[in-house]
């Protein structure tokens, strides 16, 4: 079995962050989304992975390399523009050959892993196994309708009048027969080759398409709120570790991870909090539900339920909550006394924000 990861999307809803980095590399619990996905794939015994990449191909390849760090072999497959999920299978046709394969959307987080979905496929002999989960608003997703034997009877993309509430959550397992389906469909009204059309072709042609109910936490990294909520969810399983140092004047409460060469000075850290490598936190209050990246500097700062990316600086600003601070960004006080209010900031890479409080 092989795996295909689709990472060519542009992530327009994640601007300003997706202006300067692919959404698939945004760190969740101090690890890129794609790293979480690749670890999940490797846990299924799969070692051969194709990654469909677009405009950020160099950034992704620079971060993941040849896959050896994950005990994988990675093949990069270039897509000139987003042309639909099924178009990713067209690009990957030679790579996939006649193998069964997992298709995993590169902006999806399933912390519990996909073992049950892969096991269902291997045990059942279907031509397609779809991961599904109930959602509140089915109109925003590809939807599946099932019979009483959990066989898929119909799939439709973002239905205006959905039947049922089972969304396709971005993980599929296919036999090689899906290539016949992709070759038989045409672009949709929005000009894309839809994977739902390919699956529906399999259903209409009498092939065996089944569903696996995924009961664990799932999140599509589509918005900043999705990022923050998923970050909090993954931090709930954080294992405390102390590769760096915290002085005697500091207080660490709950699960806290401090990376190598990081220092915590005269500060209170309330976990779960993950701190990367080479970061200095001084005279600050951090957490809970917060990640601080590598080589950051926090001085006189207050940060909770937030994500601070690598090499960012926060100085003299308290009350940051529900914020995302980009790489090498600066958030500093421009003077005045703090008034105890919370600030929610979305600061892109290399930007500077000066807060004046009175």
Dihedrals phi, psi of 266, to nearest 5 degrees? 45, 50
DSSP code, position 245? E
pLDDT of residue 8: 81
Burial class (CB in 10 A: 0-12, 13-18, 19+), 20: middle
Whole-angstrom distance, CA of residue 29 vs CA of residue 230: 8
Q: What does the pLDDT look like over 312-357, one tens digit per residue?
A: 999 998 889 999 998 988 888 866 555 556 677 777 777 767 776 5
Strand bridging mode 346-347 / 324-325: parallel
Residue 34: what pLDDT? 95
Cα–Cα separations (whole angstroms), residue 20 to 23, 25, 55, 128, 156: 9, 11, 11, 36, 33
Structure token digits, residue 7: 């990472």
Both tokens of 46, joined, read 């799969």
What is residue 12's predicted lDDT score, i.e. its pLDDT? 66
Question: Do 295 and 280 contact (CB within 8 A), yes or no?
Answer: no
Task: Report the DSSP beta bridge partners of residue 132.
Answer: 168, 213
Q: Which residues of the chain have pLDDT under 50?
A: none
């Amino acid at each position: 079995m092989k795996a295909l990861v689709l990472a060519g999307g542009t992530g327009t809803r994640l601007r300003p962050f997706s202006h300067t980095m692919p959404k698939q590399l945004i760190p969740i619990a101090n690890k890129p989304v794609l790293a979480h996905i690749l670890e999940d794939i490797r846990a299924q015994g799969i070692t051969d992975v194709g990654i469909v990449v677009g405009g950020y191909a160099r950034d992704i390849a620079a971060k993941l390399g040849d896959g050896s760090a994950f005990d994988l072999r990675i093949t990069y497959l270039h897509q000139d523009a987003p042309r639909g999920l099924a178009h990713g299978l067209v690009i990957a046709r030679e790579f996939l050959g006649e193998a069964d394969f997992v298709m995993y959307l590169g902006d999806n987080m399933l912390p519990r892993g996909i073992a049950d979905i892969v096991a269902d496929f291997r045990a059942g002999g279907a031509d397609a196994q779809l991961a599904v989960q109930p959602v509140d608003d089915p109109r925003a997703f590809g939807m599946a309708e099932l019979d009483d034997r959990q066989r898929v009877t119909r799939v439709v993309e973002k239905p205006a009048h959905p039947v049922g509430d089972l969304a396709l959550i971005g993980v599929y397992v296919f036999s090689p027969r899906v290539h016949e389906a992709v070759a038989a469909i045409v672009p949709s009204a929005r000009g894309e080759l839809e994977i739902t059309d390919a699956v529906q072709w399999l259903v209409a042609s009498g092939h065996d398409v089944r569903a696996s109910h995924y009961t664990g936490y799932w999140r599509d990294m589509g918005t900043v709120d999705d990022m923050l909520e998923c970050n909090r969810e993954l931090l709930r399983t954080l294992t405390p570790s102390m590769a760096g140092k915290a002085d005697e004047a500091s207080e660490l409460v709950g699960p806290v991870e401090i990376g190598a060469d990081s220092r915590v000075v005269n500060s209170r850290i309330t976990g779960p909090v993950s701190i990367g490598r080479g970061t200095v936190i001084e005279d600050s209050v951090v957490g809970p539900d917060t990640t601080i990246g590598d080589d950051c500097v926090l001085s006189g700062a207050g940060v909770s339920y937030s994500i601070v990316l690598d090499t960012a600086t926060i100085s003299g600003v308290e009350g940051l909550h529900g914020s995302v601070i980009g790489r090498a960004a600066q958030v500093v006080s421009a003077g005045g006394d703090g008034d105890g209010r919370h600030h929610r900031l979305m600061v892109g890479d290399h930007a500077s924000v000066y807060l004046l409080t009175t």
